[in-house]
Structure 1
Amino acid sequence: MPEARRPYRSTLRKSQARATRRAVVDAARDLFVELGWSGTTIDAVAARAGVSRKTVFTSVGGKAALLKLALDWALVGDDEPVPLEERQVLAEMEQQTDPRALVARWAQFVAELEERAAPLAAVLVVAADADPDAAGVHAVSERNRRRGAEFIVKRLTAIDGLRPGVTAERAVAAALVLMDPSIHRTLVSEHGWTRREYADWIERNAVAELLEGDNADGCE
């Protein structure tokens, strides 16, 4: 009988551990946004999550690890162990063959992602100047952002949607600017733009910079 109950106990422990980790990361995320990098302490995270200081370290790690995981979850929208490149939204864009529709979907995707991630990205920039571990997280984040820009350019190139004369490097640079979290903070956080207005702005500028004439027609 005891043998038959072990899988249940193991599943319960994993569920409890995941719930604790979720609480810790959620607490860290909120504190980072509210108090910034220097104002957030492990003790404050523990108190907000309702766990011990030791539990914060054993379930996630130190401040840089907390910020990394909070940002990772913000980028994908949940704590499921599925990387962004394997998410349905990327598959949808990979299947899109109309350049105009592809850019529109990409703009919506960026707007949704930055709504979750931009506040933490701002914290990471500050943290990178103060902490070597956070600097490493920031370097990886920047490489991943470039990969995101390269993705949309490669997809447009593959379906013959990229404007003639625009090099891949120039197109990637333009996409990187449109994906910059600081632009989200300026337009949305500071000036009150809605997510829809922000997505429309990304779309208009992406169409103007990346698409050739016929595909750019109809852009408002």
Structure 2
Amino acid sequence: MTRSRTYHSPAREEAARQTRRRIVAAARELFESQGYAGTTIDAVAARAGVGRRTVFLSVGSKAELLKLAWDWAVVGDDEPVPMVERPHIVAMQQVTDPEVLVRHWVGQIMTVGARVAALAGVLARAQDVDAEAAALQERIDVERRTGVGMFVRHLESVGGLRPGLTVPDAVDMCWILMNPLLQQRLLVERGWTSADLEDWLLRLVRASLLG
């Protein structure tokens, strides 16, 4: 009996990955400039320099394009490494000084917020007219609470949570503070600098959480 062989071509895989990157980058540019409703698969294909079929084969539907653009923006690249396994997150889990831990967390939400702010606006408008976009927003909210929960529980474990403050309440506070749309209103509408925003968030988180 002849055994079938799995053909593996690193060059072909890398080419497919580069194509996927172009498609997702094109989709993100169009989402941010044209909005979710105004972006079509044909427009994404044209901007990426591929055929319509390639968009579907490489990524999928318009909602899947938005999901992947969001996921890559959150972590900062397309490497298949979950956020919880990223070096900076792993390093945060080793911190035992509450002040240092809070500074790390605020720095992290500033970094991620800057990357996802424009897409957050796209998604906020899309969820009212598209069920898949609404489902994506729900998933993002759950993921944010999960990430905040890890931070707050770690802060509690090192004795950093102030007396009388429950973990659920602390999670709620941090969850709303990490909303990139709220941050953008201060940056864009009120003219705050990133340094202003980070300093205010740091002072607010310290006052709200630390014992």
TM-score (norm 2): 0.93
Contact 1:124–1:134, Cα closer than 8 Å, also in 2 = yes
| CA distance in structure 2 between the aligned counterparts of 1:145 and 1:152, rounded to whole angstroms | 11
- The more displaced of 77-86 and 127-136 is 127-136
1:14 matched to 2:20:
no
| CA distance in structure 1 between the aligned counterparts of 2:83 and 2:192, rounded to whole angstroms | 26
1:140 matched to 2:139:
yes
* Cross-structure match for 1:166: 165
| CA distance in structure 2 between the aligned counterparts of 1:135 and 1:86, rounded to whole angstroms | 27
| CA distance in structure 2 between the aligned counterparts of 1:170 and 1:139, rounded to whole angstroms | 20
Per-residue CA deviations over 1:90-133 (Å, capped at 9, x if unaligned) read 11110111101110111001000000012112211222221122
Deviation, 1:8, is 9.9
Aligned residues: CA RMSD: 1.7
1:98 matched to 2:97:
yes
1:57 matched to 2:50:
no
Could you list the runs of 5+ residues in structure 2 that have no partner in the other structure? none
Amino acid at match of 1:21: R
Deviation, 1:155, is 1.1
Contact 1:32–1:40, Cα closer than 8 Å, also in 2 = yes
| CA distance in structure 2 between the aligned counterparts of 1:179 and 1:133, rounded to whole angstroms | 23
Structure 2 matches for 1:13-52, cutoff 5 A?
13-52=12-51
Could you list the runs of 5+ residues in structure 1 that have no partner in the other structure? 1-5, 213-220
Deviation, 1:196, is 2.6
* Cross-structure match for 1:150: 149
TM-score (norm 1): 0.89
| CA distance in structure 2 between the aligned counterparts of 1:68 and 1:204, rounded to whole angstroms | 33
Q: Helix, strand or coil: the match of 1:149?
A: helix
Deviation, 1:29, is 0.8
| CA distance in structure 2 between the aligned counterparts of 1:33 and 1:191, rounded to whole angstroms | 21
Amino acid at match of 1:138: Q
| CA distance in structure 1 between the aligned counterparts of 2:188 and 2:94, rounded to whole angstroms | 33
> Which has a greater percent of helix?
1
| CA distance in structure 2 between the aligned counterparts of 1:176 and 1:11, rounded to whole angstroms | 41
1:119 matched to 2:123:
no
Pairs aligned (count): 207
| CA distance in structure 2 between the aligned counterparts of 1:193 and 1:205, rounded to whole angstroms | 16
Change beyond 3 A, Cα 1:27–1:133? same
* Cross-structure match for 1:215: none
